[in-house]
Chains A and B, each alone.
Chain A
Amino acid sequence: MTDLHISELRKSYDGTPVLDGLDLDVPSGRLVAVLGPSGCGKTTMLRIIAGFLHADAGRVELGGRTVVGPGVHVAPERRGVGIVAQEGALFPHLSVARNVAFGLTGLSRAERAARTAEMLELVGLAGHGERMPHELSGGQQQRVALARALAPRPALVLLDEPFNALDSALRAGVRADVRDALHATGATAVLVTHDQQEALSTADLVAVVRNGRVAQSGTPEEVYRSPVDSWVAAFVGDAVVLPATVAEGRARTCVGTVPVAGGGKGPGSVLLRPEQLRLVDPEAAAVSGVVRDICFYGHDSVVSLDLEGAPGPVEVRHPGPVVVRPGELAGVEVVGEGLLREADRAEDALA
């Protein structure tokens, strides 16, 4: 059981900082998703943890052991850090079983075979040991990669956007399998991804990274419900940010008056998730607008409306099919609390 502490991690390429004093704590046995846009430094961080890159400054501790620090750089093979790469990175010249057994050194042949079988069983691929990697589907390859990483009982498992190459139908299943396998072994794991759905649905904790620093970390619910700023809010999910005038815990907006937490006063903006907005009969609603566009997703639909006083079209996530058509009038109401934002932040959320 190992926890991971990263503090003040710095790395630049040709003078451009990529990691700018990044801090991250991962409690033992937990799966943390590091979520950020491309180029935010998350992959660099992962490669430094694994030992493939040297940090310019900062410290990485694994289970209380410093693996990166001033004058310290433990070689990758001595860290006990497993890695699952984007496309599995299975050795094409080795069978599935030999891939999984690759990291098992210092064991007898029988022990190695047993551990390999155990791992393949864990990822649901028992009996596939003699196949060659190219004979497996993408999802199976990914699960073998996980089995290979877990086999030597690493202190930490790093997952580098491991579901990217899978098609969306497979993705959810593989994700769940990986999560279960990780939990079953009790491994501490870091999942790097730019996909917010993946981060929120798979991880125990989410750390949102921007410009080489952790902007916010917490449980998926915290990050989604209480983003520290509009950028985080917009990155972890769709957001509707509306100008508002706040007084006594209520904000007056173009979709009506919304209860907000905290006691701000005066002009500002309010953040709502599209699923907090509901379409209602325009006759009965206090606020209504013209339907601009409808995207049907099956389980729900996203309807954009032109509302008076709104800086742009407002998106409403409506469960199931909708009856209105573009050009028609629809009413809107708000469910639950809004999140109060300072006025100046409203701009970059919409930018």
Chain B
Amino acid sequence: MAGPLESLNARFPCRERQIGDLAALLGQDDIPAPPVLVLFGTEATGKSTIAKAVLDEIEIPYAYVSCKECVTARHVFEKAYTSCDALITSSNGEDKGRQIRPDSVNALAGQLQKLIPSSGKVVLVLDAIDKQREITPTMLSGLARMGEVIKNLTVIMIVTVSSTRLLNVSEPPSIHFPAYNKEECVKILSLSPKSIFEVDEEDEYSEEMEKEDQWLWAQCCSAVWDIMGKYAARNLNALKDVVDELWPSLIQPIVDNEYGTRDFPKLFNRLKNEKLRNSEESYVSMQITKAPTATATDAASLAPNRAHDLPYFSKYLLCSAYLASFNTARYDIRYFSKLAESTGKRKRVTKRKNTSRQLNRKHLGPRPFQLERMLAIFQAILPSSVLSSVDIGSQIATLSSLRLIRKVSNVASATDASSKWRVNVGYEYVKVVGRSVKFDLETHLEE
């Protein structure tokens, strides 16, 4: 028994306990397996991988259903049944003509009871069952008790968080997969280091090179963990993504023969100066695309031109929608009246407001406004007046289908004057839009 587990431990370091537990619960021939087993832990802690690997190793027939792949609950049941069916028919070698689709937990249990032979163990792994999209209150507990109804069946449920409430089964045997800490992460990532130099087929991959690779890779991993482990790369996969991303630029100086492989501090400093300082945020938000690789001068001259522009009046409409959302209606006359306004009064009021501790409107989120009010503000902030026409209406429609503004009320006609709307983009975006038409948003915005 010790032999296979050793190899598992080598493949999956830092998980000796969990592997041992799993093997002990399932792999003892003379002891019946528990009806339900819960594996829990956060993302990227090796739950599914280890469960599959252990089950493979101890050679128990198992059916694996990834619930994330399933769209509905019925879909889960169908998959569970068909995979169990495949498991047993393939070992028996007989073919059933008609397909069965259980559409409830009961039906699934009934069908499985008929299907599963009375000797030998069968394991059904339900991966990420708590992430299932159409989860009903009884579904989880029903599935959990299936193992009690059907002899020989063990249901393994892989979930993120375990609690007794979850399954309504008192203390099911459960194995916790804790998140990896720094040493463990580095150790795991070090299993598959990337190489510094591209290895040609003719060049043999010397041991020395391998050592260099491993050393630098481990250094890199631990440094990235130190910088980002707290907020950006909280789990193993995220960390791996970041390291993968940074690796090519890290080793570039080595490839260019500027630094040796052991000059890690220098290399990393350089990397930090070049990439991390500017785009640290981009690693936090994990952009889909790589940052434009064009040279700096190129990008600067092209940048304003590349952007697709809204039509002139659409920009003003967006600004007025923003103002209508963030200003209160009773101050409209003060901000938008074209008549001369006594500034003294305005100052006094703002002072009083400062003493009463009100939150900035910007932080309270947009409030709905009537379309008519937005049109009035639109006319007020335009440098020259424009007659409303079909074009203005169609621009409002365009803005709404771009979801820059959004209809809130359910009035039948979209352009009904009394329908309620709300702006759907943030201050920064509107400010840029306003600036492009030389409109100063700030002066019209309530403090």
A and B assemble together: no
- Interface on A for B, CB 8 Å cutoff? none
- Interface on B for A, CB 8 Å cutoff? none
